Amino acid sequence: MDLIPAPSSAVRRPDEDFPLDATTTLTAPPGLADAERWLRGTLSAATGLPLGPGRPGTGIELVLDGTLAAEAYRITVRPGHALLAAGGPAGALWAAQTLRQLLGPDAYRRSPLRREGWVLPGADVADAPRFGWRGALLDVARHFLPKSDVLRFVDLLAAHKLNVLHLHLTDDQGWRVEIKRYPRLTGRGAWRERSMVGYRSGQRRDDRPHGGYYTQDDLREIVAYAAARGVAVVPEIDLPGHTQAAVAAYPELGNTDVVDTAALGVWTDWGVSHHVLNASEETLRFFEGVLEEVLELFPSEFIHLGGDECPKEQWKDSAAAQARIRELGLANEDELQSHLIRHFDRWLAERGRRLIGWDEILEGGLAPGVAVSSWRGFGGGVAAAEAGHDVVMCPEQHVYLDHRQADGPDEPVPVGFVRTLEDVYRFEPVPAQLDAAAARHVIGTQANLWSEFADSARDVDYRAFPRLVAFAEVAWSELPAEPAERDYPDFERRLRGHLEVLDALGVEYRPMDGPHPWQRRPGVAGRPIGGPPPVR
């Protein structure tokens, strides 16, 4: 029973196995309908067994247990009966995922490879997650992923008990969410003429146009599909920087007194464009309109507004921006950015939502309800937690999965730090310098996958897996806080078996002994692997 992520406790009872056959039933109360529906559909497809409804105390039975926390569960497998007790709907979904693991890799197939011989091993499993936010960021702004690939990624998150999909929907290089009142955001802003290959501006270009976007119905489908699997979708709408695609679509959003924004296109470079939003009341109203539609699509408590890497040069040169600074009684351009973030914090709070942003939003101070994604190392997260703000730890030095997994000339496009599978497994989200009160504000952790160099689901698979499996155990399991004390050899042993699950799911992960042949290529432009970490 080499489960991943490792449960709180698991005891194998070899004399208590439960063989499954055509008479095996599946029962659940109405409050666990999502888990019942998912488990029946998944296991029936893989096993060929009907798993029809049955009586309490027999077959596979899901029940609610008010003594357990919402995401906690217990599994008891005995001959003729597998009891899955959960504290709430989420816990039932995680229990169902564990039950599928107990049946082995063939249970991850979409069609049965065999019709008999299915056996649930006798066992007692008790489990609960360490963190409430166990996330992965998928950047669909730099390279668009079709809806079917996003749904598949949701399935992979849920299979590893990750419960937040942070969907990065807008950036300088593309706008991916349909906003009905502003159709040019996707009509113009969703498409760029070409893309960089590599991370330096002098390198060659792929001259194919690139783009795409999700209709509002696509996003409703993604959100509902994810919710039925225990995954919340948190949208990111970047502002006031990382907005060239929006300015290209609606030039009046830019700093028109210092640049001819009417001639601006969607950016074709990686990195950070110096084109940013102006700070006028009209721009605030525009993005309120955007967010009204975003809130209707995404019921998540948190709405991510970016707030990172905002160049201030245009504001310094803009007479309109300087007049705005004086009008608002602000000291400088940094406070102008804070004004914009504070405005949308109030706007979201009035609608029962919470703003979350990258750690640059700390500059200038935050309202009490704002949460912080700490990406520039741990410093921003430590400062935020000590100031009483909730924090999601996602430092680029540890959990940026677009960064290369090994050094060497046969790795794919070189970017960022080398972060191995073992490095990810030894990542500790809660900094040791936080006292107990501040540590409670670390509500979770997240791995981020930026897509400058991931232009397909194959590339996403290669960069994410198997490192995302290691991250899932960090986010879920109660591992030793001291990274050196973690039993990486045991994890690696369990992972080697788990690779059969990834194979059954069709994941094109990086083999543990090196790149796939289709991924091997020399260093960009003949240079050795290396270079500075990318900017978003």
Burial of 178 (0-12, 13-18, 19+ CB in 10 A): buried
Closest listed residue to residue 53, CA positions, set 38, 63, 40, 42: 40
Cβ within 8 Å of residue 490, ≥6 positions away: none
Catalytic member of 171, 308, 396, 459: 171
Tell me, yes or no, if 171 is annotated catalytic.
yes
CA 99 to chain centre: 24
Q: Which residues contact 74 (CB under 8 A, 6 or more apart)?
A: 65, 68, 83, 84, 85, 86, 95, 124, 125, 126, 127
Q: Where are the alpha helices (DSSP H) in 48-76?
A: none
Q: Is 498 a catalytic residue?
A: no
Spatial neighbors of 278 by CB under 8 A, at least 6 apart, are 253, 254, 255, 256, 318, 320, 321
Q: Which of 244, 240, 222 is nearest to 231 (CA)?
A: 222
By C-alpha distance, which of 347, 359, 333, 330 is closest to 278? Answer: 333
d(CA 410, CA 406): 9
The answer to whether 423 is a known catalytic residue is: no
* Cα separation, 155 vs 464, whole angstroms: 14
Distance CA 432, CA 265 (A): 46
8-state DSSP, 250: S
Other CB atoms within 10 Å distance of the CB of residue 533: 13
Contact between 73 and 95 (Cβ < 8 Å): yes
Choose the catalytic residue: 309, 333, 359, 396: 309
Is the peptide bond between 7 and the residue preceding it cis, with omega within 30 degrees of 0? no
Which listed residue (242, 275, 304, 498) is catalytic?
242
| Alpha-carbon span 136 to 472, nearest angstrom | 9
Active site members: 171, 242, 309
